[in-house]
Structure 1
Amino acid sequence: MFGSSHCATRSTSPALLALPAALALVLTGCGDSASDDEQAAPSSSADGAFPVTVTGADGELTLEEQPENIVSMSPSSTEMLFAIGAGDQVEAVDDNSNYPEDAPTTDLSAFTPNAEAIAEYAPDLVVLSNDQNGIVDALDALSIPTLLLPAAETLDDTYEQLETLGDATGHAEEADEVISDVQDRIAAAVESVSTDVEGMSVYHELGPELYSATSDTFIGSIYSMFGLENIADGAPDAAGGYPQLSAEYIAGQAPELIVLADTVCCEQSAETVAQRPAFGTLPAVQEGRILEADDDIASRWGPRIADFAESVAAALQG
């Protein structure tokens, strides 16, 4: 059923770059790895009518009919699909897509994807965030339409992906409503914080191995909106966006806000941070300004990024 009603025209795109293996393990709970690939361009449908042509990092894809058996191999895309009202069209999701609770989670792995295993769900659309193991070509060989939406680097990338998924699934209006809601909530969160916080230093922790995220990353862009200074920006080897810091470097930077994105995966908390050598004297620890974030919310680029922005605002207000 995949090949008869859908066609895809692919343009050449650069190979996706995965995160270093160690960081990928840290982000396993997040379900998506960052990419330096080009972001998906806005799609061409305005009213949900089919056929429709949408554009991902793997090129243009023309869908002759509204997809009814979608397989999502990206937790962020899964959250987007359900948020825009396309949940009933989702047949299966990867093993890290744990939100919303009614998402049809399977043992499909986005880290070691298998085209034959995906094909067993008879998908008429597969949404991916990376091209691990050449999965796009493997699915193309089976005439299974694919839409590659790599890790967002900016909020605009998130909005464009929501728009693209809205067009691809026949939920363009709902996608626009979600985009507007997320934009309004983030703007309100930023507005709720006093300008006195501008210049405050922040340390974002991806794992107890002290991997962090610079302002050039998607999550780092949230801190920039609040006017915060990200200590990871000046770290050695920060060019990849996810440098591994040292305890000495963090202590020397004396962050005034610490955001833990490893509370679930690694059981880190304000208490465990305070017990680390040299961390007890950090301003963030002494002033109790440590945000214990949900790993997934703090690492995915779906609609719940508004939840994260609101939690950062609350931490700054507190």
Structure 2
Amino acid sequence: MPSARRLPAALLLAALTLSACGGTQNSGQDQENSGGKDAGFPVTVEDASGEVAIGSEPQRIVSLTPSATEMLFAIGAGDQVAAVDEHSDYPEKAPTTDLSGFEPSAEAITEYNPDLVVLARDAADAADQLKKVDVPVLLVPSATTLDQAYGQMRMLGEATGHADRAEEVAGRVESDVDAIVEETAAEIGDTDLSYYHELDSGMFSVTSETFIGQVYDRFGLENIADSAEDAAGGYPQLSAEYIVERNPDLIFLSYPGDQVVEDLGKRPAFESVEAVQNGDVVRLDPDVSSRWGPRVVDLAQSVSDAVTDAAQEG
């Protein structure tokens, strides 16, 4: 079937309409088989685009953002998820497909007969096409703070009929992160450690204005990327000279590769960096460190372990 971008507008709308009608029929059958779980619906939730009305409890959710997929399963809506994007690989039972979350095709999405679609904020074009055929869409932006992540969990809970469970999960994640931070502070006291977070071998980094930067900030760490000339966008590309000169106490690597820690230590002049000398170069799980779902607790624990080790060495 040709892609959505190649179809004439009228033909695309016809294809979407047929698919959407099929989705409504299947959704009704699923709801009847489930015993009617529409208590509390309709509901109106607020996403990145504004208010979104959802008439009945969704039974066929398509999630095209990995963080939202993890949230949906954590809050008890996993059985309602019919399809997820190619990168939504957690949990293992998530129904991964070849759907793209970066360039979502409204036509491809409707083949799964969704009654709710969760998209990234920059997928507005696909969202508009789906809304034209009455498929509810939630646009979920990248969280820049922990509070935003907790809020998204609660919003997805309301949208899927799991408000109470979502409230419980968000509250537990928040309390677990707070506890890890407090326990770390109690163990090591105040710290003046600096860090460098590397997104890839091209030395792209993050500032304290990003989500992961906010996590590091909870531990009182100083981010060497904050003073970079091109830091305004939140993801500056640093030079080797800049990193060596700033001499971070900790280095965190968040990309795949079995030898990334060793390879970094072999870069010219990096043997003089404090983190390299003391063995405080930490490889983080690339997925955990790039998503803002419930596994942020695992990220906080990894940072805590690294901070504790570095502080005790000092």
Q: Tell me the alpha carbon deviations over residues 172-205 of structure 1, each in whole angstroms, 9 at most, x when there is no partner.
A: 1111111121112111211222454522101011
- The 8 Å contact of residues 95 and 107 in structure 1, kept in 2 or not, is answered as yes
Which runs of no fewer than 5 residues in structure 1 stay unpaired?
Answer: 6-46
TM-score by length of 1: 0.83
State the partner residue of 1:190: 181
State the partner residue of 1:252: 245
State the partner residue of 2:233: 240
Of 212, 219, 222, the residue aligned with 1:219 is: 212
- The 8 Å contact of residues 71 and 93 in structure 1, kept in 2 or not, is answered as yes
Alignment length (residue pairs): 275
Query: 2: CA distance between counterparts of 1:140 and 1:205?
Result: 38
Determine which structure has more spread, i.e. the larger CA radius of gyration: 2
Aligned residue identity for 2:266: Q
Query: 1: CA distance between counterparts of 2:20 and 2:302?
Result: 42
TM-score by length of 2: 0.84
Which runs of no fewer than 5 residues in structure 2 stay unpaired?
Answer: 1-18, 25-37, 310-314
Aligned residue identity for 2:261: A
Percent of aligned positions that are identical: 53
Of 268, 283, 288, the residue aligned with 2:279 is: 288
- 2:55 pairs with 1:64: yes
SS of the aligned residue for 2:297 comes to helix
Task: Give the C-alpha shift of residue 131 in structure 1.
Answer: 2.7
Query: 2: CA distance between counterparts of 1:281 and 1:78?
Result: 42
Of 41, 61, 74, the residue aligned with 2:65 is: 74
State the partner residue of 2:92: 101
The structure where helix makes up a greater share of residues is 2
Task: Give the C-alpha shift of residue 130 in structure 1.
Answer: 2.4
State the partner residue of 2:201: 208
- The 8 Å contact of residues 20 and 110 in structure 2, kept in 1 or not, is answered as no
Query: 2: CA distance between counterparts of 1:251 and 1:189?
Result: 30
- 2:138 pairs with 1:147: yes
Query: 1: CA distance between counterparts of 2:39 and 2:237?
Result: 44
- The 8 Å contact of residues 130 and 137 in structure 2, kept in 1 or not, is answered as yes
- The 8 Å contact of residues 83 and 96 in structure 2, kept in 1 or not, is answered as yes
SS of the aligned residue for 1:207 comes to coil
SS of the aligned residue for 2:238 comes to coil
State the partner residue of 2:147: 156
Aligned residue identity for 1:257: L
State the partner residue of 2:165: 174
- The 8 Å contact of residues 48 and 169 in structure 1, kept in 2 or not, is answered as no
State the partner residue of 1:138: 129
How does 1:14-25 map onto structure 2 within 5 Å?
none
